Amino acid sequence: MPNRLALIFPGQGSQYLGMGHDLYQRYPAARAVFDEADELLGLELSKLCFEGPEEELHDTINTQPAILTMSLATLEALKGRHHVQEIAFAAGHSLGEYSALVASDHISFADAVRLVRERGRLMKTAGENRPGGMVAVLGLEAEVVDEACQLAGEETGTVVQVANYNSPGQIVISGEQEGLEKAMKLVKYKGARRVVRLAVSIASHSPLMESAAQGLRQVMAKSWTDSSFKRPGSQWSPM
């Protein structure tokens, strides 16, 4: 394996019960990441990842630090096994951006795990105030999916929209439940190959998360002022 790597980290929906248990048992460096997360958060996050309950793992307040921890534990195991010396590029999908920031040494793991826990709390609250969800649509053109969302929103008077253009033929929509249900029926009628509910408890990447975005801006701005996120040479801004 080359010593210089480009890494892409996953976001919400990639969690699964039992994740990281094998890494925890086999790699001391990965175990140290899980143990640090447990201590920093004051909860048994590792046990939740390994044993559940699954419903709690899928709750965004837990999902976000769990995926971050799993991602960085995997990276530490990779470094140890393959003697990785340099990460040339790091990127992430949504929540995965925080994992990428840690991997590229722009913020510490301690800062990141606390931040995404708070991010999850804010998004959970936003989701309780304005419930919603996310759905993956496979095998349909982007324009058709977008039109279906617009029509579903107009007919139901709810928020529903395209959230992520993951790849040609895979698009994620997000919004309120009634609008999502209508949009799912429309894209199936229009010929979608598959329509899959995602294992997320909120409507990410939609206007339903605006209150969470505002709260997170305040948290990050304060943390930046307090210098807890600053790293030598970092050009990252919380805004």
Q: Which of 225, 166, 196 is nearest to 11 (CA)?
A: 166
| Active-site hit among 46, 71, 94, 99 | 94
Q: Which of 25, 62, 68 is nearest to 44 (CA)?
A: 62
Q: Which residues does residue 89 pair with via DSSP β-bridges, in sequence order?
A: 6
Look up 205 and say whether it is catalytic. Answer: yes
Peptide bond into 53 cis (omega under 30): yes
> How many Å apart are CA 28 and CA 39, to the nearest integer?
16
Judged by DSSP in three states, 52 sits in coil
Question: Of how many residues is the chain composed?
Answer: 239
Residue 216 vs residues 45, 129, 140, 223: alpha-carbon distances, Å: 22, 16, 34, 10
| Active-site hit among 14, 58, 106, 205 | 205
Angle between helices 210-225 and 109-129 (to 10 degrees): 150
Q: Which is it for the CA torsion 155, 156, 157, 158, positive or negative?
A: negative
Instruction: Write out the catalytic residue numbers.
Output: 94, 205
